[in-house]
Chains A and B, each alone.
Chain A
Amino acid sequence: MNAHGTVHKYGDHVDTDVIIPARYLNTQSHQELASHCMEDIDKTFITKVKDGDIMVAGVNFGCGSSREHAPIAIKASGISCVIAKNFARIFYRNAINIGLAILECPAASEGIDDGDEVAVDFDTGVITNVTKNETYQAEPFPPFIKDMIAKGGLMASLKAKEARA
Chain B
Amino acid sequence: MGMTMTQKILARHAGLESVRAGQLIQARLDLVLGNDITTPVAINEFEAAGFDRVFDKSRIALVMDHFAPNKDIKAATQCKQCRTFARKFDIDHYYDVGTMGIEHALLPEQGLVAPGEAVIGADSHTCTYGALGAFSTGVGSTDMGAAMAAGETWFKVPSAIRVNLTGKLRPYVSGKDVILTLIGMIGVDGARYQSLEFTGPGVAELSIYDRLTISNMAIEAGAKNGIFPVDDITRAYVAERVDRPWTAYEADPDAEYERTVEIDLSQVDCTVAYPHLPENAHPAREGKDIAIDQIVIGSCTNGQLPDMAAAAEILKGRHLAPGVRGIIIPATQSVYRECMHRGYTDIFLDAGCIVSTPTCGPCLGGYMGILAVGERCVSTTNRNFVGRMGHVDSEVYLASPAVAAASGIAGHIAHPEEI
Contacts and interface: CB of A to CB of B under 8 A. Distances in A.
B312 interface: no
Contacts of B38: 66-68
A154 B146 contact: yes
Chain B facing A: main interface SS: loop
Contacts of A13: 188-189, 277
B66 A155 contact: no
A30 B139 CA distance: 19
A43 B47 CA distance: 35
Given A17-B364, A153-B142, 19 more contacts: A15-B385, A15-B386, A22-B37, A22-B388, A25-B364, A28-B78, A40-B392, A64-B124, A65-B123, A66-B126, A66-B138, A66-B139, A67-B37, A68-B142, A72-B41, A94-B142, A144-B24, A154-B143, A158-B150
Interface stretch (A48-56, A83-91, A113-121, A133-141): A83-91
A106 B219 CA distance: 23
B277 to A, nearest CB: 6
B41 A28 contact: yes
A107 interface: no
Interface stretch (B69-77, B231-239, B282-290, B296-304): B69-77
B142 A154 contact: yes
Contact of B140 (A17, A18, A97, A156): A97
Interface string B123-158: 110100000000000111111011001100010000
Interface residues of B, number: 50
A4 to B, nearest CB: 27
Interface string B362-385: 001110000000000000000101
A103 B97 CA distance: 42
B143 A155 contact: no
Interface of A: 13, 15, 17-18, 21-23, 25-28, 40-41, 59-60, 63-69, 71-72, 86, 88-90, 93-94, 97-98, 142, 144, 153-156, 158-159
9 contacts: A13-B277, A64-B124, A65-B124, A66-B38, A66-B139, A68-B38, A69-B41, A90-B138, A155-B49
B85 interface: no
Contacts of A94: 139-143
B48 interface: yes
Closest 8 CB pairs of A and B: A94-B140, A26-B74, A68-B140, A22-B364, A97-B142, A60-B189, A40-B387, A66-B124
B361 to A, nearest CB: 10
Nearest to B24: A144
Contacts of B40: 28
A110 to B, nearest CB: 17
Nearest to B392: A40
A21 B74 contact: no
A89 B219 CA distance: 10
A93 B126 CA distance: 15
Contacts of A26: 67, 71-72, 74-75, 78
B99 interface: no
B222 interface: yes
B383 A88 contact: no
A89 B222 contact: yes
B365 A21 contact: yes
A23 B138 CA distance: 20
Contacts of B387: 17-18, 21, 40
Given A18-B386, A60-B192, A88-B192, A155 B142 contact: yes
B163 interface: no
A22 B74 CA distance: 13
A22 B366 contact: yes
Contact of B139 (A59, A60, A90): A90
Nearest to A91: B140
B258 to A, nearest CB: 15
A22 B359 CA distance: 14
A10 to B, nearest CB: 12
Interface string B204-234: 0000000000000001001010000000000
A164 B40 CA distance: 28
B392 to A, nearest CB: 5
Interface in B53-79: 66-67, 71-72, 74-75, 78
Contacts of B267: none
A34 to B, nearest CB: 15
A97 B44 CA distance: 14
A72 B138 CA distance: 17
B171 interface: no
B317 interface: no
A98 B142 contact: yes
A58 to B, nearest CB: 10
